[in-house]
Structure formats: structure tokens, C-alpha cells
Amino acid sequence: MEQIIVKDYETSDSRVNFGQVIQAGIVITDEKLKIKSKHELRCRLKPNVIPAIGASLVHRASVDQLKNSNMSHYQMVLEHYKIIKDNTPSFITGFNNVAFDLEFTRRMYFKSLIPEVYQTNTNGNKHLDILNVARASKFVDDNGIKTKLSEKGRPSFKLVDLCEANSIDNGTSHDAVTDCLNTLAIAEIIYKKTNNVWNDALITTNKKDTENFILKNKIYTSLEYFYGRSVPFACHHILFHPEFNWSINWDIKIDPSKYLNMDSQALSKALDASPKVLRTVKANKSPVLLKSDYALNTENYSNIGIDEINRRVKVLDNNPKFIESISLILSDKAKEKMSMDQTEILFEETIYAGGFANEKDKALMKKFHEVDWKEKVNLIEKFSEERFQYFAECLVYEESPESLPKDVYNKINRSFAQRLLSTNKEKWETTSSFFSEVDTLRETKYKDKPEMLKVLEGYNKHVMEIQTKFENA
């Protein structure tokens, strides 16, 4: 693979199912991290989204930008999709991108009826998270990447703090393009100073390659992050989770012999006890996995001795019924937890629970993007799944409301009015939750800061306008 895509978003909210991207930064580099092109995509706030004040105070997009940017959200999504498609295959990377940005990518494709919701990890594309690589680099070589201490006296891996510690300044943080360039600068330090870690990280950038690494290595090092420090675990893979397909590993510093003769109830309790005997590795989350020596050379494992460690591995390998018992316990726990969650799932939350679109709906999605808005309306009822009919209606409502029949427009408008004007605690930002948070900030954090009070007032007026519009629905 010859290129890397560094991606960063500024969003209306941190809640991926209901928030939206308002600015996307995309920087394309070669395999040595030399920039080939830069792209900034900025869009208007969708008419059915209330921005969270916390996010607004981070990205500081002006009210004018939220209302009057040249692109709509739908236009930005299509352009974003095209840029990634034109630069496939690539390593898709960013800072904490696997947990946050990539989930936003999938949701905005999903709700915009783009069938390739997994564009960033299919057709040769792979995921790389620079946050994970930075932590691994610091663990392997303390002098590689510099960190500053947090208020609690722990190394901070916030992007803004890493930039300060390493004298990186590409402009104001929390601008999407600036954060791409800052992430790239961190990546360059890792690439140059701990190139072995960089190369190791590239091995586990998709699910299949990660699973191959896990199965190939009898013992390997998995790094987990606790309270500002990376903790190495010497792992031996024993099974894939029966429900979620995660790699389940035995922490080899714990002697499995003591657990072999436990009945199911005792074993289940032991698996929940601390210290944990099982370590989970999610192969699709861009983990940085290292050779076994990194963990085995630490005090927790070196005192055991390699002969004893090999014996423990052999005990696990020679007791398949024991492993099967663990698998059954994990399956039962997962099913019990899923059955207890009776929360209503809305269409916006069905990206995973609802499964893939069928071939008929995928074909309709493709056609949907090719025709004008009036014809888009005619396609709505042809989707076989109600959730895709709903998303199609929402897109027309957001982009060309005059194209909808009056009764359909009124139905959607009243639905969003009920949602956004709710006074209950919701999964999305409401006018009520927004005003409450603004009032709290006025009275506490920014009480004596006139400039910040002015910023708050600007956002507050904008949301009052949205509120007035929906009160008349």
C-alpha cells in the first residue's frame, strides 16, 4: 500500500448516532508521510440537529458557518465518499479515529443511503489509529515521543498536549485540517524514532491480519491503557468470543492449572474476579500488538521463567473442554446482557443491529444519488426496509423540503419537533438540554468572562431560532 489518509472531524455532538459532522479534514500522504493533497469540507448544520454547546465551544464554528456554509451535509458526505474512493486503497488513520471519527463516517454514510458504510476498511483500505501507536511508541522507547503531565501527574496523550510537548504548531487545535496536520506530525516522530513500532502497527490494521498475527504467535504482547500508562500483557489466544468474535486470551502470568477442575459456577465467578485472567483483543479496532518479549521482559513475567510460561501454554492447549467451558460462560453472559437491554432502538441506531442492506435496496440507493429530488421522492416507497424509507424521507426533508408532498413534510417536521423539543433526557441534544447547559456555563465557568458570555449568547440565539421554527410545526 502506497498511501495514507489522515482524517479528522469536528462534530455537532459526541453522540455518533444523532450528531453530525460539520467539518472534515482529509490529508493524503505517501507511505513515508509526505503530503500529496489536503482537503477541507465544511457544511451547514442540518435543520433537524441541535448542536451540543460543549462541542460548539471546542470547534468554535461560528453561527454564520453553521447556517451559511456553501455545502449541505448531504453534499459534504458525497464529496467525502468520493475523496476516499479516489484514494483507495489506503491506510485510513487519525487520532482516536477508530473509536470516534470512523463511527461517524459509518453513520453519515448509513443515514445518507451510501451502501458502502464500511468503505474505510474494505477494498484494500485498512484502519490505523495514531493514538494507539503513540502509546505503544512511548512504551517501547520513553525517549521517542515526548509527553507532558496531566493535572493528576500522569503522561497525557491528548493530541493538544502531545503537540505542545513535541513543539508541534500547525495552527489552532480543533480545526479539522489542523488536527490532521498535527496527527501527521506525531506520526512522523513515531515513524522516525520508533520505526519498528510503526511497522508493527501496520501489521494489525485490519481484522484478518490481526487474527493471523494472534494465531501465529503462541504468546504476544497486548498493551492496555490504564490511568496514563500502557500496561503490557503476555497473551495466549484460547478462543474467539462466541457472540462477538473478539480474541479471548489467557494472561499467561496466571497459572491455568488452578482453574481446570472448577465447576461452571465457580469458573464463571473466577473469570469475573480481579486480577482478570482473560484479556480481550478486538481485532477490528486497530490494536498495536507486539512481540512477546516486550511483556515477558517485565517484572510480572520475567520472575515466572520461560519454562513455566511454556508449561502454562501447554496446559491451555491440552485442555479443550476447559476452553469450551469458558466459551459457554462468555456466551451466556453476553446473551443475558443483551436480553436485559430493552431500550427502544431507533432507525438511526440500527447500523449494526439491522444488518446489511439487501441487493435490491443497494441498487435503489445508487439510483437515489443519481436522480433529481422529485425523482428521489418517487423512490422512497420502493425501498424494502422501513429504515431506508425513513432515511430517504429525511434526506429530502433536509435538502429539498419543497419536493415532499405536504402531508409527508408535515409528518416528518412534527416528528422532529417532538424529538428536539422534548424535555426528557434523550439520546440526542434537545433545546431543553442545550439551554440548561448554557445557563449552567453562564452562572459558573464563564460568569466573569464577557467574551465567552458573548460566544454563548450567539449559539443560544441560534438554537432559539431553531426552537421557534419547531414550536410552529
Q: In order along the chain (473 residues), what is the average pLDDT of each group of 10 residues?
A: 92 97 98 97 98 96 95 98 98 96 98 98 97 96 93 92 95 90 98 97 96 98 91 98 97 97 96 96 96 96 96 98 97 89 88 95 98 98 98 98 96 97 97 98 95 96 97 85
188: Cβ contacts below 8 Å, ≥ 6 apart: 33
Q: What CATH number has the domain bearing residue 331?
A: 3.30.1520.20
Residues 219 and 153 both lie in one domain: no
pLDDT value, residue 375? 98
Q: Which residues pair with 386 in a beta bridge?
A: none
Local structure of residue 121 (DSSP, 8 states): G
CB 401 within 8 A of CB 19: no
- Record the cell numbers describing residue 38, joined without a space: 489536503
State how many domains the chain has: 3
Residues 7 and 135 both lie in one domain: yes
Of 197, 229, 250, the residue that ends a domain is 197
Of 175, 197, 219, the residue that ends a domain is 197
Of 137, 166, 197, the residue that ends a domain is 197
Output phi, psi for 6, to 5 deg.
Answer: -100, 125
pLDDT value, residue 1? 64
Count CA atoms within 13 Å of residue 162 on its CB side. 25
Residues 318 and 357 both lie in one domain: no
Q: Among all chains, which residue has been given the C-alpha cell 461452571?
A: 264
E strand map for 113-265: 126-129, 220-226, 229-240, 247-251
Pairwise CA distance, residues 388 & 112, whole Å:
9
Output phi, psi for 26, to 5 deg.
Answer: -135, 120
pTM exceeds 0.75 for this model: yes
Give percent above pLDDT 90 in the chain: 95
Residues 237 and 213 both lie in one domain: yes
Instruction: Quick: pLDDT tens for 69-110.
Output: 999 999 999 999 999 999 999 999 999 999 999 999 999 999
Q: Which domain range does residue 288 map to?
A: 204-340
Q: Which residues pair with 236 in a beta bridge?
A: 250
Residues 365 and 336 both lie in one domain: no
Residues 327 and 358 both lie in one domain: no
Q: Among all chains, which residue has been given the C-alpha cell 464500511?
A: 118
Where b means 16+ CB within 10 Å and e means fewer, 37-49 reads: eebebbbbbbbbb
Residues 180 and 271 both lie in one domain: no
* Amino acid present at 89: P
- Record the cell numbers describing residue 392, joined without a space: 430517504
pLDDT value, residue 171? 83
Bond preceding residue 89 cis, omega within 30 of 0:
yes
385: Cβ contacts below 8 Å, ≥ 6 apart: 354, 357, 358, 361
- Record the cell numbers describing residue 68, joined without a space: 451559511
Q: What is the largest CA-CA distance in the chain?
A: 76
Number of CB atoms found within 10 A of residue 471's CB: 10
Q: How far is CA 380 from the centre of its chain?
A: 30
Alpha-carbon torsion (242, 243, 246, 250), positive or negative: negative
Q: How far is CA 331 from CA 65, 247, 353, in A?
A: 48, 13, 18
Instruction: Quick: pLDDT tens for 13-61.
Output: 999 999 999 999 999 999 999 999 999 999 999 999 999 999 999 999 9
pLDDT value, residue 473? 75
Residues 259 and 386 both lie in one domain: no
pLDDT value, residue 315? 98
Pairwise CA distance, residues 102 & 406, whole Å:
36
Residues 28 and 159 both lie in one domain: yes
- Record the cell numbers describing residue 92, joined without a space: 485510513
Q: Among all chains, which residue has been given the C-alpha cell 494472561?
A: 251
Residues 358 and 300 both lie in one domain: no
Where are the alpha helices (H) located in 273-385, listed in sequence order?
293-296, 299-302, 306-317, 320-340, 350-353, 359-370, 373-379
Residues 242 and 382 both lie in one domain: no
Q: Among all chains, which residue has been given the C-alpha cell 504548531?
A: 169
Query: What is the spatial order of strands in the sheet that 3-11 belongs to?
Result: 35-42, 21-30, 3-11, 91-94, 126-129
Residues 334 and 367 both lie in one domain: no
